[in-house]
Amino acid sequence: MKQNIYDDSTFANEYDTMRKEKKGTNANDIIEIPNFRKMVPDVNGKSILDLGCGYGENDKYYKEKGATYVLGIDISKHMIDEANKENKVPGVDFDVLPMEEISTLDKKFDIVISSLAFHYIKDFDKLVKDIYDLLNKDGYLIFSQEHPLITCFNPVENMKKSHIEVDGKYYGVFSDYNRNGERKKDWFDKQVIKYHRSFAYIVNTLIKAGFTIEEISEPVPSEDGIKANPKYINQFDRPYFLIIRVRK
């Protein structure tokens, strides 16, 4: 079953608050967004498909950077409503569509992007093949996800968080790294299902589908980012995110 937590109203409220009221100090704004954008090639004259577009910020951004057309899709009607309110500009469309169903789209794209959504997807192999088929020749896929060192962790009673402090030093804690599959995580008031895949599994799946690996990032914040939220110095100890650019 496809998971659609962002249409749960309590969850959506909490998420909206985190992203909007903490704008500029959350991990998305400080770590993920700037590093993701560094990995995206020149979009001038290119068509873009955004999988799990959320609020659609990236879609408006890349349209303004010269993309000819951007289609943002998301499983959540709440997110697409927000995207239409906030980031709808000419040449950008938003549609409610789970990324598990992109093979139903009737056009091809030069660039596929996806920000922090793939860890919700059960069948990564199928998704990667579908993206490959949707891309024009020499097309790019750039995606970010929670880092495998985060996704692997199974919270249990006496080890609820995937980090500890010893003598003031931050340590990541992990287990089950080479056991791919479902993980149940608490996020706000909900239990969210995410899928763990090891680094090797992710990279090998992309290669087997026909992609060439171009660049990998386990991003850290800039100096300004650390000033905005000093706790993210912890990204030097343990990255939250993984960003990958591959080419067809």
**Minimum distance, C-beta of residue 27 to a second copy, in the bound complex (Å):** 14
**Minimum distance, C-beta of residue 149 to a second copy, in the bound complex (Å):** 7
Residues whose CB falls within 8 Å of the CB of residue 97, separated by 6 or more in sequence, listed in order: 73, 74, 75, 104, 105
The SS3 call for residue 94 is strand
Residue range at the interface with a second copy (CB under 8 A); choices 20-28, 74-82, 130-138, 168-176: 168-176
Find the radius of gyration of the CA atoms of the chain.
18
Question: 58 exposed, middle or buried (CB, 10 Å; 0-12, 13-18, 19+)?
Answer: buried
- Tell me phi and psi for residue 151, to 5 degrees: -65, -30
132 binds a second copy, rule: CB under 8 A: no
Give the interface size with a second copy as a residue count (CB under 8 A): 38
Q: What's the distance, Cα to Cα, between the start and end of the chain in Å?
A: 29
**Minimum distance, C-beta of residue 165 to a second copy, in the bound complex (Å):** 10
Rounded Cα distance between 219 and 31, Å, is 7
For the chain, what's the residue count? 248
For a second copy, the binding residue among 218, 222, 226, 228 (CB under 8 A) is 218
172 binds a second copy, rule: CB under 8 A: yes
Q: How far is CA 24 from CA 2, 27, 45, 156, in A?
A: 31, 9, 30, 32
**Minimum distance, C-beta of residue 117 to a second copy, in the bound complex (Å):** 20
For a second copy, the binding residue among 4, 198, 222, 229 (CB under 8 A) is 198
236 binds a second copy, rule: CB under 8 A: yes
Scan residues 30-89 and list those touching a second copy (CB under 8 A): none
For a second copy, the binding residue among 126, 200, 227, 230 (CB under 8 A) is 200
For a second copy, give the closer residue by CB, 44 or 175: 175
Residues 71, 73, 78, CA angle at the centre, nearest 5°? 130
Structure tokens at 51: 């999988």
For a second copy, the binding residue among 61, 69, 132, 177 (CB under 8 A) is 177
207 binds a second copy, rule: CB under 8 A: yes
128 binds a second copy, rule: CB under 8 A: no
The total of other beta-carbon atoms located within 10 Å of residue 201's CB is 15
Question: 30 exposed, middle or buried (CB, 10 Å; 0-12, 13-18, 19+)?
Answer: buried
For a second copy, the binding residue among 11, 43, 220, 248 (CB under 8 A) is 220
The residues that touch a second copy, with contacts defined as CB under 8 A, are: 149, 156-159, 164, 166-167, 169-179, 198-200, 203-204, 207, 212-218, 220, 235-239
